[in-house]
Chains A and B, each alone.
Chain A
Amino acid sequence: MYAQMVETGVDAVRTAADMGGDERAFQARIDADIRIEPKDWMPEAYRKTLIRQMSQHAHSEIVGMLPEGNWITRAPTLKRKAILMAKVQDEGGHGLYLYSAAETLGVSRDAMTADLLSGKAKYSSIFNYPTLTWADIGAIGWLVDGAAIMNQIPLCRCSFGPYARAMVRICKEESFHQRQGYDIMLSLARGTPGQKAMAQDALDRWWWPSLMMFGPSDAESVHSAQSAAWKIKLLSNDELRQRYVDQTVPQADHLGITMPDPDLAWNADRGHYDFGAIDWAEFHAVVRGNGPCNRDRLATRVKAWEDGGWVRDAAMAHADRRAARAAAAAA
């Protein structure tokens, strides 16, 4: 999802026999639902996996500002413009909390940023799709923030304290975002025929990519078992995806628009919706950098960073000079 395919650096789930005393004590704390804090002993693989997961999550918040930011200057009313600006700003705030939480594990924000800009670090595949109409802003709030909440609510109980606490704060804001997005969809669905068509078109383009946000199916998720043992992944990709489908289909019905999936049907025996096959070739293409917007998204981030270089240098130079003057005055 916001962290879709996080490597754990271990081939098989570590068993008690593999572990030394520190690691057994560590795993016992996790099994007892006691939070791990930054100063506590932790296995190197746990630390590295968390850095990967949290920085991917943070990068997703930051890159995620771009598709929606694309419509701030074209929002159709002043109220919608204000809500959208505040929403995109919230996403920047989420990025900040998450970078700060990851920094407690001994990695700097600059280093994480460098990995994003070089293309080494990943961010969620969903943000490599374009926002072509205003309805896409509704669809993102409704579907993408909706999927994010589905993933992040369980993470409020994850084993690493700073991550869990960041998630609690972030989830509150994401649920606002989802309601605001749904409200945009509602006004379009109840609007003119042109607006309703715009809403349907957005759903057609965003539904499948939103399902891919949860990552590969459980059978293919080679690293999930260790993450589950460490309680930094509390539900499987397929479980989360099913919950998301079950929650979202009635919302589309309420809007009077149709999911672009002929196989979608309520299965009374399972008590869940069945849905069609996901195009994993598309997912892997996007993850490998071949989505419609990968190049643009990264180029925009790189340009913002490079254009800001002289500004950051000036701020540092000024702060140094001011500190030197204060020191001279005190001497």
Chain B
Amino acid sequence: MDDDPILFQYLLRLGDSPLILAQQLGAWVGKGPALEEDIALTNVGLDLLGQARLWLTCAGEVEARLGGAGRSEDELAFTRDGGEFRNLLLVEQPNGSYADTMARQFLFDTWHLLALRALLPSRDARVAAIADKAAREVAYHVERSGDWVVRLGDGTPESHARMQAAIDGLWMYTGEMFVPDAVELALIDAGVAADVRALEAPWRRHVDAVLAEATLSVPQNGWMQGGGGRGGKQGVHTEHLGHLLAEMQFLQRAYPDAQW
């Protein structure tokens, strides 16, 4: 696969979702419901941050070979504005309670693992190699977040209600994960990108099974945000992303000439 602007866009999509989710998990450090949880959740955040760095570095290299700016991981993370971010809407939703955080994690992890595995046969060797490393880590994330959905769903009446509300609230952000746009379709044809259309059925099977074990119901409202090519992957975000970036990018913005 040759480097092209479409590949650059696709790599941002792969990197931005773990980056934004890692940023969110970073805000939990020191504030988890138990010490062991604090440590385990930070591990997940560190994995995602590491993956984001690999994808963004790769994107910057592709950009350089295209004759573009060849931005570093930090330039990409800290100097793009919200509309240039390509993460899924799901991961930018607020941390909320532990139920909200774990529901978000579970819905994302389940998709993430399927997407990474679908990238293993990618004709772009760099993409396949990063996906391989990331998939090993994410296999553990899926187990952990699914476990929490079950514990909280099948826990106390309070935790059950909280987890059901969390799943219900986040459900409408899961649709865009399975809808490819022109960028993805071109790369799917070229054998580089994961065909996300094929991920919906296995995603639903796993999610349905975990929700059933958790005594939770699958949300009835099937309306999905971000349809029609106007979602996170295209840079059309919810209000939450701007605040997250304002915090994350503060130092690079305030001291634009500094090295850290």
**Residues of A participating in the B interface, judged by any CB pair closer than 8 Å:** 62, 65-66, 69, 72-82, 85-86, 88-89, 92-93, 95-96, 99, 134, 184, 187, 191-192, 194-195, 300, 303-304, 307-315, 317-318, 321
Residues of A within 8 A of B19 (CB): 78
A74–B29 touching, CB < 8 Å? no
> Shortest CB–CB separation between residue A243 and chain B, in angstroms?
30
The residue in chain B whose Cβ has the minimal distance to the Cβ of A316 is: B155
CA distance A99 to B43 in the complex (A): 21
Complex Cα–Cα for A311 and B36 (A): 13
CB–CB B30/A85 < 8 A: no
B258/A191 in contact, CB under 8 A: yes
Q: Does B201 contact A (CB under 8 A)?
A: no
Q: What residues on A are CB-neighbors of B260 within 8 Å?
A: 76-77, 80, 134, 184, 187, 191
Beyond known contacts A77-B74, A78-B74, A318-B154: 20 more, CB 8 A cutoff: A69-B29, A72-B29, A73-B23, A73-B26, A73-B248, A76-B260, A78-B56, A82-B46, A82-B50, A93-B39, A191-B259, A304-B30, A304-B31, A309-B33, A310-B158, A311-B159, A312-B34, A313-B159, A314-B152, A315-B151
Assuming A73-B247, A318-B151, is B42 touching A88 (CB within 8 A)?
A: yes
User: Which applies to chain B's interface (DSSP): helix, strand, loop or mixed?
Assistant: helix
Contact B250 A74 (CB under 8 A): yes
Identify which of B29, B52, B98, B252 contacts A308 (C-beta below 8 A).
Answer: B98
- In the assembled complex, the Cα of A308 lies from the Cα of B158 at a distance in Å of 12
23 of the cross-chain contacts (CB-CB < 8 Å) are A69-B31, A73-B26, A74-B248, A75-B251, A77-B260, A78-B52, A78-B53, A78-B73, A78-B77, A85-B26, A85-B42, A88-B29, A89-B39, A92-B39, A92-B42, A93-B39, A300-B31, A308-B33, A311-B99, A313-B155, A317-B159, A318-B150, A318-B151
B46 touches A86 (CB 8 A): yes
Question: Are B33 and A89 closer than 8 Å at their CB atoms?
Answer: no
Instruction: Find B159's partner among A76, A80, A194, A314 (CB 8 Å cutoff).
Output: A314
Alpha-carbon distance between A82 and B158 when the two chains are bound, in angstroms: 34
Knowing A195-B255, A321-B154 are in contact, say whether A81-B34 is a contact too (CB < 8 A). Answer: no
B46 lies within 8 A of A89 (CB): yes
- Rounded to whole angstroms, the CA-CA distance of A195 and B97 in the bound complex is 37
User: With contacts A73-B26, A82-B49 known, is A307 near B258, CB below 8 A?
Assistant: no
CB-CB < 8 A to A321: which residues of B? 154
Which B residues touch A99, using CB under 8 A? 35
Distance of B252 from chain A, by nearest CB (Å): 6
Return the contact of B45 from the options A85, A92, A191, A304 (Cβ within 8 A): A85
Would you call B250 and A78 a contact (CB within 8 A)? no
C-alpha spacing A314/B248, complex, angstroms: 33
Q: Which of A66, A81, A195 has the most CB of B within 10 A?
A: A81
Residues of B with C-beta under 8 A to A311:
33-34, 37, 98-99, 152, 159
Which residue of chain A has the shortest Cβ distance to B77 in the bound complex?
Answer: A78
Q: Quick one: closest A residue to B97, CB to CB?
A: A307
> In the complex, which residues of chain B have a beta carbon less than 8 angstroms from the beta carbon of A62?
30, 35
Q: Does B32 contact A (CB under 8 A)?
A: yes
Query: Does B162 interact with chain A (Cβ within 8 Å)?
Result: yes
Looking at A66, A79, A309, A315, the one whose CB has the most chain B CB atoms below 10 A away is A315
- Chain A residues with CB under 8 Å of B39's CB are 89, 92-93, 96
User: B30 near A192 (CB under 8 angstroms)?
Assistant: no
The answer for the CA separation of A79 and B257 in the assembled complex, in Å, is: 18
Number of interchain pairs (Cβ within 8 Å)? 141
Complex Cα distance, B252 from A81, in Å, reads 13
CA of A308 to CA of B152 in the docked complex: distance in angstroms? Answer: 12
A236, B259: Cα distance in complex, Å: 41
Partner of A65, one of B29, B50, B156, B252: B29
Q: How distant is the Cα of A86 from the Cα of B30 in the complex, in angstroms?
A: 12
Alpha-carbon distance between A240 and B136 when the two chains are bound, in angstroms: 46
Q: Name which residue of chain B comes closest to A310, CB basis.
A: B158
Give the shortest distance, in Å, between B254 (CB) and chain A (any CB).
9
Tell whether, in the assembled complex, residue A308 and residue B258 are in contact, meaning their CB atoms are under 8 Å apart.
no
Q: Give the residues in chain A near B259, CB-CB below 8 Å.
A: 187, 191
Bound-state CA distance A300–B27 (Å) is 13
CA separation between A75 and B99, bound complex, in Å? 26
Q: Once bound together, how far apart are the Cα atoms of A313 and B162, in whole Å?
A: 13
B110-128 CB contacts (< 8 Å) to partner A? none
B48-68 interface bits toward A, Cβ cutoff 8 Å, 1 = contact, 0 = none:
011011001000000000000
In the complex, what distance in Å separates the CA atom of A123 from the CA atom of B150? 36
How distant is B62 from chain A, measured CB to nearest CB, in Å?
18
Contact yes or no, B23 A88, CB < 8 A: no
- Most A C-beta atoms less than 10 A away, residue of B26, B162, B250, B257: B26
Which residue of the partner chain, among B31, B43, B78, B156, contacts A314 with CB atoms under 8 Å?
A: B156
B168 at the interface (CB under 8 A from A): no
Chain B residues numbered 73-99 whose CB sits less than 8 Å from any CB in chain A: 73-74, 77-78, 97-99
Interface residue? B200 (CB, 8 A): no
Which of A78, A79, A187, A303 is packed against the most chain B CB atoms within 10 Å?
A78
Q: How far is the CA of A78 from the CA of B49 in the complex (A)?
A: 8
CB <8 Å contact, B251 and A134: yes
**Cross-chain contact B33 with A307 (CB below 8 angstroms):** yes
Nearest to A313 among chain B residues (CB) is: B156
